[in-house]
Structure 1
Amino acid sequence: MRDILNDLDRDPIDPAASIRAEGRKNLPKRFYKEVSTRAGDSGFEILLDGRSVKTPARVPLAVPTQALADAVAAEWAAQEQLIDPMTMSLTRLVNVALDGVANTREEVADEIVRYMGSDLLLYRAEGPEGLVARQAEHWDPVLAWLDETYGARFFLAEGIRHVAQPEDMVARVAAALPREDVLALAALSTLTALTGSAFLAVALLGGRLDADAAWKAAHVDEDWTIERWGEDAEATARRTARELEMRAAVRLLDLRKA
């Protein structure tokens, strides 16, 4: 059991590495018949044949809502003859939150804040005109929402030249991070790393964007290139894996309060 859960605790931000690692060893066999949930002292627990699932750090795999517990349990129930950790994104994210983020909340939050100082949405292409317009279409509404919601305005830059952002503006958005909510922080950390934008992560947290809109906004430049030059199979596989992780993080944000 412990080896299996260690697999599930693998870093969700690098799904390509996880895929390669899984290819080097056999997947464990499913050893349980029934998956269920119950309300416990730590929240809603996941049970395998009536026994509580533990994280790699040996704490109960428990979440704050029945809806999230049901979603995690569904991942375990969906396993057939073998247990494939790459199909259990919510379970892995919850493990990361309970075992990792719970002990490093401030560090995780501070890393998200560091992204804000050089956020993807602030660095615009110098051309061509079509790409510049597409960036503005997807990114400007998010920046406008940050201004309306938090009174935070930021400087835009062209190309890769670094532009320092006002510390007080960054601080206003940073204050929105739920530092006591380890599940939310784990999801926001994953979203920030996968999209390259803490602002997109905050917009997802605040309900300004849904998963589809955030994914499109994060891949404006990449989609522009693909439309003109195409995409190879390996790049497509990496992108698909990253999108699955991103959508799992959005589900975690939603279900933790459902």
Structure 2
Amino acid sequence: MRGLIVRFRFSEQVQVQQPIQLKRFYKEASIEMAVNPTNPYHQWLVKLDGKTVKTPSKNTLAVPSPQLASFIAHEFNMQTDYIRPTTMPLLTLARNAIDIEADDRIRQFMEQSIISYLERDTVLFRENPETKLYKIQKEKLDPQLKLFNEKFGLHLKTNFGLNIEPLKQYDQIRIETIVSELNNWQLVSLDAKVENLKSCILALLIWNNHLQVEEGVKLSRLEEDFQIAQFGKVEGHHDYDENTIMMNVSASKLFAQLIQTQSIAY
């Protein structure tokens, strides 16, 4: 049943994304270093035909490193006749990070969203012990849970079926501390991993280089891949879903690396 829910959400997501088509209105994207009165540490602008790109909240798209600015400009330049926002993950992450600084409520919501995933984390979910899926989950996910608890100082345990246990007070405080210590740019990067993997545990393991992106994506899809092996898949949807998740998680990891390319305050 849980696998069917995942498929429904994915099909719903596809229906929302497909109609988004904006005709390319610029010839070339470029970057420029300029004084930024809002944040002096963010001096790299992305421009379209000489005009500065803005965020959805009308803030200037100014980023902390020339490397990140160059990658975002490349995303713009790779667009063809129509702009496809789903192929511009670094732009999306940068816009979100900038707009958070203008509205602290967005950060609060994002922090709570990340923390809420931990209670119903993919890594914590277990099927009935008598099933084949349980054996796969135990073999693949138990080592990740043990590693996470050791590295981040938590004491999380697995849940069976729909019996989701609320976080213990110690674990709640610990994860809140971890998330609150991230700056806005780091938080946006982590949030993207969590949203795509449906797992705070896998996202943080990837964040701290304890797990490779490809392996993390595979682990996040254990149940769905098991269901597909048993009952088949909807042609095209599975590959699209997995490739999109891989792209988004890889981009969020790259984003975190690009904002660390020089010693700056965010």
TM-aligned CA deviation for residue 94 of structure 1: 1.6
Distance 1:102 1:186 in 2: 14
Matched with 1:185 is 187
| 1:31 is aligned to 2:33 | no
Q: What does 1:168-207 align with in structure 2 at a 5 Å threshold?
A: 168-177=170-179, 179-207=181-209
Residue identity matched to 2:53: V
Distance 1:61 1:227 in 2: 44
Distance 1:25 1:224 in 2: 32
| 1:253 is aligned to 2:256 | yes
Residue identity matched to 2:233: E
Distance 1:162 1:22 in 2: 31
Q: Is the 8 A contact 1:15 1:241 kept in 2?
A: no
Q: Tell me: higher relative CO, structure 1 or 2? Use CA pairs within 8 A at least 6 residues apart.
A: 1
TM-aligned CA deviation for residue 168 of structure 1: 0.3
TM-aligned CA deviation for residue 216 of structure 1: 0.9
SS of 1:111 mapped into structure 2: helix
TM-score by length of 1: 0.82
Distance 2:109 2:80 in 1: 38
Alignment deviations for residues 13-45 of structure 1 (CA, whole Å, 9 cap, x no partner) = x98667545644653133233523435432322
Q: Is the 8 A contact 1:197 1:218 kept in 2?
A: yes
Matched with 2:264 is none
Alignment deviations for residues 139-167 of structure 1 (CA, whole Å, 9 cap, x no partner) = 22322222222321112222221223312
Structure 2 gap ranges (5+): 1-8, 37-41, 262-266
Structure 1 gap ranges (5+): 1-13
| 1:49 is aligned to 2:46 | no
TM-aligned CA deviation for residue 91 of structure 1: 0.8
Matched with 1:61 is 61
Residue identity matched to 1:55: T
| 1:211 is aligned to 2:213 | yes
CA distance 1:72–1:40, change in 2 (3 Å) = farther
SS of 1:45 mapped into structure 2: strand
TM-score by length of 2: 0.80
Distance 2:75 2:164 in 1: 43
Q: Is the 8 A contact 1:126 1:132 kept in 2?
A: yes
CA distance 1:23–1:136, change in 2 (3 Å) = closer
CA distance 1:24–1:107, change in 2 (3 Å) = closer
Matched with 1:89 is 89
Matched with 2:247 is 244
CA distance 1:18–1:36, change in 2 (3 Å) = farther
| 1:123 is aligned to 2:118 | no
TM-aligned CA deviation for residue 72 of structure 1: 0.9
Residue identity matched to 2:144: V
| 1:232 is aligned to 2:234 | yes
Q: Is the 8 A contact 1:37 1:73 kept in 2?
A: no
TM-aligned CA deviation for residue 196 of structure 1: 1.7
CA distance 1:165–1:80, change in 2 (3 Å) = closer
Q: What does 1:10-25 align with in structure 2 at a 5 Å threshold?
A: 20-21=15-16, 23-24=18-19
Of the three residues 139, 145, 153, the one matched with 1:137 is 139
TM-aligned CA deviation for residue 218 of structure 1: 0.5
**Mean Cα deviation higher: 74-83 or 229-238:** 229-238
CA distance 1:128–1:195, change in 2 (3 Å) = farther
Residue identity matched to 1:32: K
Alignment deviations for residues 60-81 of structure 1 (CA, whole Å, 9 cap, x no partner) = 2122222222211110111233
| 1:158 is aligned to 2:160 | yes
Q: CA RMSD of the aligned region, Å?
A: 2.6
Distance 1:16 1:94 in 2: 27
Q: How many residues align?
A: 245
CA distance 1:137–1:175, change in 2 (3 Å) = farther
